Amino acid sequence: MAGNSFGTIFKLTTFGESHGEAIGGIIEGCPAGIELDFDAIEIEMQRRKPGQSSIVTQRKEQDAVKFLSGIFEGKTMGTPIGFVIENKDQKPRDYSHIKDTYRPSHADYTYDKKYGIRDYRGGGRSSARETACRVAAGSIAKQLLKDIKITAYVSGVGNLQLDKPYADLDFSEIEKNPVRTADAEMAQQMEAYIEEIRKQGDTVGGTITCVIQNVPVGLGEPVFDKLHAVLGKAMLSINAVKGFEYGSGFEGTHLKGSEHNDIFNEDGSTQTNYSGGVQGGISNGEDIYFNVAFKPVATIMQKQQTINSKGEKVDIQG
């Protein structure tokens, strides 16, 4: 199976399955001599940890990162950093009923047809469990980018959408609610709506907005390695992501060029930021902002009709 790595200079390769012994990763390209803040890594892992509220997956995992190489006396050595995260809440028996069944809108069918074998325990390699490795590696990358501020928040759940521009939001609200949105009133509405949908045995999709500030001019390469193309690849590789737009995105198609052009100030900054901080594939020093669309979680508690590996119609629930 190819496609398990992301990055060129700072490169992450992940491994492991949802209900295997562990998941993990190897980081290449991290500079030597960086004194790591392990508490900061722990904070990021705890933010991602499942089972924090009734509106997220109830799997119980500690998500403790064990570093195996590349770090000595708290500092990076410039060699590959290897780490593992043990899967403590392994319940492969919970998935025995789907051993020969293809769940709608999951990777079961495509994995089976492509590889001739699949790990049916929670989706195996296709599970969102893999994203814990990204958080572990990302928390190290974040320390390398300490002067750059990266903020993400839920901007939409179903038809509930935050219509305010990010500049008008209070980012301190994000960590105060389980939805992790930047508006206290909207957080209550979103949480209530998710609970309502959950009681129906169903799921709902949503949108994440990410804002990157204090970005220097000059990041990104022309043509195939444009900055927004690399960001898009990273976001679209996350489980359940169905869309990516940056800057004005699709809304920009409703404007005329005279309205959409970002006029320069004398210091090189721009009066507007429809470009989303990227022009010609290269960062221009303005805020980079983008939206990521997530489909409704495909595992629902309603009875659905599907097929098994023999092509026979069967019912499935969960």
Between 181 and 55, where is the model more confident?
Answer: 181
Average pLDDT over residues 31-56: 87
State the chain's mean pLDDT as an integer: 93
Judge residue 87's burial from the number of C-beta atoms within 10 Å of its C-beta, 0-12 exposed, 13-18 middle, 19 or more buried: buried
> What is the span of the domain harbouring residue 174?
147-318
Q: Are residues 139 and 152 in the same domain?
A: no
Residue that is last in its domain, among 96, 128, 144: 144
Q: Are residues 137 and 200 in the same domain?
A: no
pLDDT score recorded for residue 62 = 75
pLDDT score recorded for residue 121 = 82
* Residue 93 pLDDT class (50, 70, 90 cuts): low
Average pLDDT over residues 133-149: 96
Q: Are residues 205 and 293 in the same domain?
A: yes
pLDDT digits (tens, 9 = 90+) for 238-277: 999 999 999 999 999 999 999 999 999 999 999 999 999 9
* Residue 51 pLDDT class (50, 70, 90 cuts): low
pLDDT score recorded for residue 96 = 78
Q: What is the pTM of this model?
A: 0.92
Q: Are residues 248 and 100 in the same domain?
A: no
Q: What percent of the chain has pLDDT over 90?
A: 84
Q: Are residues 232 and 110 in the same domain?
A: no
Residue that is last in its domain, among 116, 144, 172: 144
Residue that is last in its domain, among 144, 165, 184: 144
pLDDT digits (tens, 9 = 90+) for 214-239: 999 999 999 999 999 999 999 999 99
Could you please report the per-residue DSSP string of the chain? Answer: ----EE-SSSEEEEEE-TTSSEEEEEEE-PPTT-B--HHHHHHHHHHH-S-SSTTS--------EEE-SSEETTEE-SS-EEEEEE--S--GGGGGGGTTEE-TTSSHHHHHHHHS----STTGGGSGGGHHHHHHHHHHHHHHTTTSEEEEEEEEETTEE--S-GGGS-GGGGGGSTT--S-HHHHHHHHHHHHHHHHTT----EEEEEEEESPPTT-S-SGGG-HHHHHHHHHHTSTTEEEEEETTGGGGGGS-HHHH--PBPTTS-BS--TTTTEETTEE-SSPEEEEEEEPPPS--SSEEEEEETTS-EEEEE-
Q: Are residues 189 and 307 in the same domain?
A: yes
Decide if pLDDT at 58 tops 60.
no
Average pLDDT over residues 58-70: 83
pLDDT score recorded for residue 18 = 87
pLDDT digits (tens, 9 = 90+) for 95-114: 778 889 999 999 999 999 99
Decide if pLDDT at 76 tops 80.
yes
Q: Are residues 92 and 165 in the same domain?
A: no
Q: Do residues 84 and 132 lie in contact, with contact meaning Cβ atoms separated by under 8 Å?
A: no
CATH of the domain at 193: 3.60.150.10
* Residue 56 pLDDT class (50, 70, 90 cuts): low
Q: Are residues 155 and 136 in the same domain?
A: no
pLDDT score recorded for residue 61 = 66
Average pLDDT over residues 69-87: 97
Q: Are residues 206 and 312 in the same domain?
A: yes
Among 5-14, 53-62, 237-246, name the one with the lowest average pLDDT: 53-62
Q: Are residues 113 and 179 in the same domain?
A: no
Looking at the structure of the chain, the number of domains it has is: 2
Q: Are residues 135 and 196 in the same domain?
A: no
Q: Are residues 171 and 310 in the same domain?
A: yes
What is the C-alpha to C-alpha distance for residues 243 and 296, in angstroms, rounded to an integer?
A: 13
